[in-house]
Structure 1
Amino acid sequence: METSAPLLGEPLPVELMNTAWADRDGVHDALRDPGGVRAWLHAVSARTGFTAPDGPDCPDGPVDLTDDELGRFGDRLVGLRDALRRLAAEVTADPRPAAASRTRELEAAVTALNRAAGESPHWSVLSWTPGQEPSRHTRSHGEAGSAAVSALAEESIAFFAQDARNRLRACLAPGCVLYFVKNHPRREWCSAGCGNRARSARHYQRHRPGTA
């Protein structure tokens, strides 16, 4: 199963924000059910470094959650996503009503982010198999889902605490609710598709009947 969320190669906190996305039918939630949570987690697993909880019976590999764990993890992930979208709206002065987070207050968003980061003790470990490139993983004594949320929250705190947040943008193409990091001076939209829609809308406004 593939995730319905658009994956634009953005930093992981921004990819999580963009699990709320829109099309002509309205705003959608890629994390609306355990299947959607599993699909998104698997889609980004190569970029996360999340591993199973630390212990003798836990293999060192990507997190794989049971259905019960997915339910709990999904609720925490959505809560973190909503907090991040509220912080993003603050940084970008986001004017889009359809993009508004369910977390309305800035203080509540900050509290939710900090709580998520501290939910599960986690730390980094280095893996290095002879003949292969070394890699960094995140380990935890807690439940795998909690560890993953905490690690994502930690990465999100680093993102918003650094200058990278100043390059965060709300995509203002018609109907879009996504965010992106402006990684090129001429970039205005989250994707080429949104750029095309925005230019088409501008063209229509300039040439519609009755326009002076």
Structure 2
Amino acid sequence: MSSQLTLALAGTIRHDGDGGVTDDLADVPGLARWLSEQAEPLRRHDDDLAPPTDLPDEQTRLDVVALRRAVRTLLARAVAPAPPSRADRSSLLTPADAVRHLNDAAGALPTSPRLQWPDDAAPTLTRHSPPAQPRTRLTAALARAAADFLTGPDRERLRACPAPRCVRYFLQDHARQQWCKPSCGNRARVARHYQRHQTER
């Protein structure tokens, strides 16, 4: 699903458990690990994508990180008027620049419809793209997944987790869900309790 891949990319910026933020894509081995974890969702967006072990190099990492910044900018815009993730408050692109970056990445790998009609089966329509550098295929797949998500129905359920220290975006499963996971809810309640007691002193 497009939402799974897009939120996984955005989620490579996460809290480190000590009040700070960590970047899972800070180096090439980190990108390699993430690509391995996302191999199946990526394959759903591009069957011809090279195996993850063939992809990572520093330029690929820089391209994916730049695309992630555009994606997180657009996720921040999608949750408005609610505040964006704490990690994004000072690092966002302008929405126009983010859209341009996403469109450029998605459009770097042109696709065309291809009709297939075997003698003994019904016709099918597939999408074909010409050979391209693995880096181009990867960023195009990620950009197209983000575009699909941002224009699809799941966007309405997108939220930025308001729990202390959390910097994740998530899809709200039901109207009363406020946090991305129960541990964030617990942390928010503890923080509120502490703040109340400090105020009463």
Number of paired residues?
Answer: 184
Does the 8 Å CA contact 2:163/2:187 hold for their aligned counterparts? yes
Unaligned runs of 5+ in 2: 115-125
CA–CA distance in structure 1, aligned partners of residues 112 and 101 of structure 2: 20
What do residues 2-21 of structure 1 show as CA deviations (whole Å, max 9, x unaligned)? xxxxxxxx621111011111
Distance 1:27 1:149 in 2: 24
Q: Is the 8 A contact 2:69 2:93 kept in 1?
A: no
Q: Distance in 2 between matches of 1:20 and 1:165?
A: 20
Partner of 2:120: none
1:90-169 to 2 correspondences below 5 Å: 90-93=77-80, 94-100=83-89, 102-122=91-111, 141-169=131-159
Q: Which amino acid aligns with 2:38?
A: V
Q: What's the TM-score once normalised by structure 1's chain length? A: 0.76
Q: TM-score, normalised by structure 2?
A: 0.80
1:70, distance to aligned residue in structure 2 (A): 2.2
**Structure 1 counterpart of 2:15, one-letter code:** A
More helix by share: 2
Task: Identify which of 24, 34, 53 aligns with 1:30.
Answer: 24
Cα drift, residue 116 of structure 1: 0.8
Q: Distance in 1 between matches of 2:127 and 2:60?
A: 19
SS of residue in 2 equivalent to 1:169: strand
Distance 1:98 1:150 in 2: 25
Q: Secondary structure at the match of 2:53?
A: coil
Describe the SS at the equivalent of 1:180: strand
Shift of the alpha carbon at 1:71? 1.4
Q: Which amino acid aligns with 1:14?
A: L
What is the CA deviation profile of residues 97-128 of structure 1, one whole-angstrom value per residue up to 9, with x for unaligned ones? 43336342110000011011012235799xxx
Structure 2 distance, partners of 1:101, 1:113, is 20
Gaps of 5+ in 1: 1-9, 54-60, 126-135
- Find the residue that maps to 1:187 and give its secondary structure: coil
Aligned to 1:84: 71
Q: Pick closer, same or farther for the CA change 1:174–1:114 going to 2, 3 Å.
A: same
Report the aligned-residue RMSD: 2.7
Is the contact made by 1:51 and 1:139 (CA closer than 8 Å) also made in structure 2?
no
- Structure 1 residues 85 and 124: CA distance shift in structure 2, 3 A: farther
What do the CA deviations read for 1:163-184 (whole angstroms, capped 9, x no partner)?
2211100000001111001122
Instruction: Describe the shift of the 1:138–1:164 C-alpha distance in structure 2 as closer, same or farther (beyond 3 A).
Output: farther
- Percent identity between matched residues is 35
Per the alignment, in what secondary structure is the counterpart of residue 38 of structure 2?
helix
Structure 1 match to 2:122: none
Contact in 1 for aligned 2:85/2:168 (Cα 8 Å): no
Could you give the per-residue CA deviations for residues 38-94 of structure 1, whole angstroms, max 9, x where no partner exists? 0000011122214456xxxxxxx734325xx52121111111110011111111132
